[in-house]
Amino acid sequence: MEKLAVNVKCPYCKKSLMDEEVQIDSFPSVRVRIQLGKKTGALYLSSIYGSYNIISEVPIPPEEIVLFFCPECSASFSLKDLCDECKAPLAFFELKNGGTVQICTRRGCEYHSIDYTNMSQKISTLYSIYEVFADPSRRK
């Protein structure tokens, strides 16, 4: 199965959340701020859709729900929508080419989804994803 690398930005201030310096799964990570109890810190998520690899400044115990914020404008990424699987709030990011990615904010829950606002955006988003993988060694 082809891996999908997402390129996301803040839905509010539109700044890119991609961090080229911190790589996870050999791709730039998605950098957000999190709050867990009274602690806050940076959290780096894998940009590979379906990968749960993270680097967190704040240790997150399994099953804990964390709050996600924009590192630039401090807006909350949490939605009112709840996870289908565990009822924790979902957080969302805007895809660079339109649409949103939603992830569950509970550590260890694997729920995530991508919403494309329309078909043409879906197509352009997929093209940009495949460009990431346009590695000459993979071409036939």
Residues that bind Zn ion (CB under 5 A): 10, 12-13, 70, 72-73, 75, 83, 85-86, 88, 104, 106, 109, 111
Residue type for position 53: N
Nearest approach, Cβ of residue 125 and Zn ion (Å) = 20
The total number of residues shown for the chain amounts to 140
C-beta of 75 vs 123, nearer to Zn ion = 75
Nearest approach, Cβ of residue 10 and Zn ion (Å) = 3
C-beta of 31 vs 106, nearer to Zn ion = 106
C-beta of 10 vs 129, nearer to Zn ion = 10
Nearest approach, Cβ of residue 55 and Zn ion (Å) = 20
DSSP collapsed to 3 states, 51-115: CCCEEECCCCCCCCECEEECCCCCCECEEEEECCCCCCEEEEEEECCCCEEEEECECCCCCEEEE
- Which tokens sit at 74? 């401090």
